[in-house]
């Protein structure tokens, strides 16, 4: 049975995931409203992601001494204010600024929330607990993004952000009601925590997290124009496709958490191999609607099966700095989001066709797989659970 505190965290992650990803379904609408190109509108994805990257360490420092519940509520307040700004923004520049403000709440919320979820369950269920919290993020792709896209297409893209504001208010009330109050913040001092993060066993899984996101977002950022221009789907068909991808993300996230509690490294390796194979097949089948839809569901599931295992890998490796490591790994994921969106946009500007973006994602995933396999050559960088006994 899922505990109420984890449900409250999942509700907040649903709101955060919706505001992060819904912009991808609305890129043509935003671009048309502000008179910019779709690759320029895609910078709203990378701008948000860079806001997470920059904001994660700054907000981690600012909230380090706060009780975890207080920190979570403060972050939800920032989230609500940022989305109000998005809904009201009169220019592209102000929309970008509001997206960045919203993003400042993202990394620290998921970082602190992951540690809270981990600490509320027995050791053998920790990755599952983190995956349940992240289920809100994946459900955002099942419900929030498709319906936000449909709402934005029907009532204007701003309506999607007004809906996200309402979600944020509901999530904040759930945190007040259900998350325990007696959870302390950092006790050992930030200097010790930052020193602990400088070790390669901590940095390696963060790097892998970054590259995993580069692989995903080099394609996912441009999924709407790809499906419309290459696969030939209508705007309503794209909404249905996003819903189906969200189902894959949700299932993959939950399955990845369960498998990683049994074999973390095997889960990560298997997911990267699967991502590579599916993306190559997708490049071959992208003009056919049914095979494309099936492959996108598989791709989403495999990509999100990596999230909670990589998060736990980082937190376990940083035994002296779990709060900061968890937060900064969210920055690492979103650095990958920004770089992936940028690489995808640069490729399109250089003449690469939308249909070739899956191959770009597969090549990046191969780099992440190689780094993961490198852990077998050095036991010090392996996940804690798999290190041979001394």
In this prediction the pTM is 0.81
User: What is the domain extent for residue 98?
Assistant: 4-386
Q: Report the C-alpha gap between 139 and 312 in whole angstroms.
A: 20
Tens digit of each residue's pLDDT (9 = 90 or more) over 111-166? 888 888 887 787 778 888 888 888 888 888 778 877 888 888 888 889 999 999 99
- b/e string for 101-123 if b means 16 or more Cβ within 10 A? bbbbbbbbbbbbbbbbbbebbee
Which residue has tokens 């979103």? 334
DSSP state of 380: G
Overall domain count for the chain = 1
3-state SS assignment for residue 249: helix
Put residue 156 in one of left, alpha, beta given phi > 0 → left and psi -120 to 50 → alpha: left
Residue 273's contacts (CB-CB under 8 Å, 6 or more residues apart) are 369
339 in Cβ contact with 220 (< 8 Å): no
pLDDT at 195 over 80: no
Overall average pLDDT of the 360-367 stretch: 97
pLDDT in tens, 365-376: 999 999 999 988
pLDDT of residue 337: 80
User: What distance in Å separates the CA atoms of residue 301 and residue 14, rounded to the nearest whole number?
Assistant: 17
Residue 104 has pLDDT above 70, yes or no: yes
Tokens of 110: 């998921």
| CATH number, position 111 | 1.20.1250.20
Angle between helices 68-88 and 157-178 (to 10 degrees): 170
Sign of CA dihedral 165, 75, 13, 97: positive
Reported confidence tier of residue 292, pLDDT bands at 50, 70, 90: very high
């Amino acid at each position: 049975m899922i505990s109420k505190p984890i449900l409250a965290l999942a509700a907040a992650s649903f709101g955060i995931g919706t505001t992060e990803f819904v912009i991808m379904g609305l890129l043509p609408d935003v671009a048309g409203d502000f008179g910019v190109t779709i690759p320029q509108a895609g910078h709203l994805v990378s701008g948000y992601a860079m806001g997470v990257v920059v904001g994660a360490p700054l907000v981690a420092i600012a909230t380090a001494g706060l009780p975890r519940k207080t920190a979570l509520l403060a972050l939800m307040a920032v989230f609500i204010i940022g989305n109000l700004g998005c809904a009201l923004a009169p220019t592209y520049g102000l929309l970008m600024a509001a997206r960045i403000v919203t993003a400042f709440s993202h990394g620290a919320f998921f970082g602190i929330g992951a540690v809270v979820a981990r600490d509320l369950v027995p050791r053998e269920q920790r990755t599952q607990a983190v995956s349940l919290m992240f289920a809100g993020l994946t459900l955002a792709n099942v419900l929030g993004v498709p319906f936000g896209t449909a709402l934005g297409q029907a009532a204007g893209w701003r309506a999607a952000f007004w809906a996200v504001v309402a979600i944020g208010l509901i999530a904040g009330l759930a945190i007040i009601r259900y998350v325990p109050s007696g959870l302390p913040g950092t006790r050992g001092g930030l200097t010790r925590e930052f020193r602990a993060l400088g070790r390669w066993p901590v940095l390696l899984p963060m790097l892998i997290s970054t590259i995993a996101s580069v692989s995903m977002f080099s394609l996912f950022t441009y999924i709407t124009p790809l499906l419309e221009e290459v696969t030939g789907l209508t705007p309503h068909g794209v909404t249905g496709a996003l819903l189906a991808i969200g189902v894959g993300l949700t299932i993959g996230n939950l399955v990845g958490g369960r498998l990683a509690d049994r074999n973390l490294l095997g889960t990560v390796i298997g997911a990267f191999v699967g991502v590579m194979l599916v993306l190559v097949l997708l490049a071959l089948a992208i003009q056919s609607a049914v095979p494309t839809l099936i492959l996108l569901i598989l791709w989403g599931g495999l990509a999100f099966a990596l999230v909670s295992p990589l998060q736990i890998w980082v937190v376990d490796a940083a035994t002296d700095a779990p709060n900061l490591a968890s937060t900064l790994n969210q920055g690492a994921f979103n650095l990958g989001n920004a770089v992936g969106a940028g690489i995808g946009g640069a490729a399109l500007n250089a003449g690469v066709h939308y249909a070739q973006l899956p191959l770009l994602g597969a090549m990046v995933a191969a780099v992440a797989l190689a780094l993961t396999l490198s852990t077998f050559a050095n036991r010090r960088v392996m996940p804690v659970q798999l290190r041979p006994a001394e």
